[in-house]
């Protein structure tokens, strides 16, 4: 779940103390804590703005999604789409906080294919939706913050691409 926990468990599994390199990794992780918290604060404080911008980008690129017969056509389907945006944005914040993609993998990617296929949602559309979510979120962060948060969005996008 976090770098510190993972390093401790790895050392314990091998019945040893953490190595110097592992201790440096822990220090780096702990030192970056305030930056990770500031990133999460920006993302959570701007959730609605991020989701609205991401949806605007997605539906302007893919107007067929909101046209009759599209997966986001109608108020209910569009609301469900926006709900998923919020859910994935929250997962990214979990990853940023923990310094790990484990929760994104466990909660957001495992079973995503089955769920979206059962709902008739094509995975390429979800990949594009996550790209617009990434763009909208990172546009609100400083360059340094975006460099920290970007890989968590990339992990999510890559994981969805491999499920198509």
Task: Write the secondary structure of 5-39 as one string of H (helix), E (strand) and C (coil).
Answer: HHHHHHHHHCCCCCCHHHHHHHHHHHHCHHHHHHH
25 and 5 in a single domain? The answer is yes
List Cα–Cα distances, 96 to 33, 38, 92, 115, 160, in angstroms.
9, 10, 6, 25, 19
26 and 37 in a single domain? The answer is no
80 and 123 in a single domain? The answer is yes
156 and 93 in a single domain? The answer is yes
What range does the domain containing 10 cover?
1-31
Contact 35, 16 (CB under 8 A): no
50 and 119 in a single domain? The answer is yes
Across all residues in the chain, what is the average pLDDT? 92
Tell me the whole-structure pTM to 2 decimals.
Answer: 0.88
Span 106-122, average pLDDT: 81
Residue 109's CATH number: 1.10.490.20
pLDDT at position 46: 98
15 and 52 in a single domain? The answer is no
3 and 38 in a single domain? The answer is no
Give the tens place of pLDDT for each residue, 69-111. Answer: 888 899 999 998 899 999 999 999 999 999 999 989 988 888 7
Q: How many C-beta atoms surround the C-beta of residue 63 within 10 A?
A: 10
Span 153-160, average pLDDT: 95
């Amino acid at each position: 779940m976090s770098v510190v926990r993972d390093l401790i468990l790895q050392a314990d599994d091998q019945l040893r103390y953490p190595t110097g390199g592992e201790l440096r990794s822990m220090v780096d992780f702990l030192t970056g804590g305030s930056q990770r918290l500031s990133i999460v604060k920006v993302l959570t404080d701007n959730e609605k703005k991020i989701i609205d911008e991401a949806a605007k980008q997605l539906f302007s690129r893919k107007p067929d999604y909101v046209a009759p017969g599209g997966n986001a056509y109608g108020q209910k389907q569009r609301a469900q789409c926006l709900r998923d945006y919020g859910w994935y944005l929250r997962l990214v914040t979990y990853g940023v906080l923990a310094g790990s993609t484990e929760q994104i993998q466990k909660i957001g990617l495992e079973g995503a294919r089955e769920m979206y296929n059962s709902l008739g949602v094509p995975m390429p559309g979800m990949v594009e939706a996550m790209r617009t979510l990434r763009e909208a979120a990172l546009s609100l962060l400083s360059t340094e913050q975006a460099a920290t948060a970007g890989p968590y969005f990339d992990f999510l996008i890559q994981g969805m691409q491999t499920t198509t």
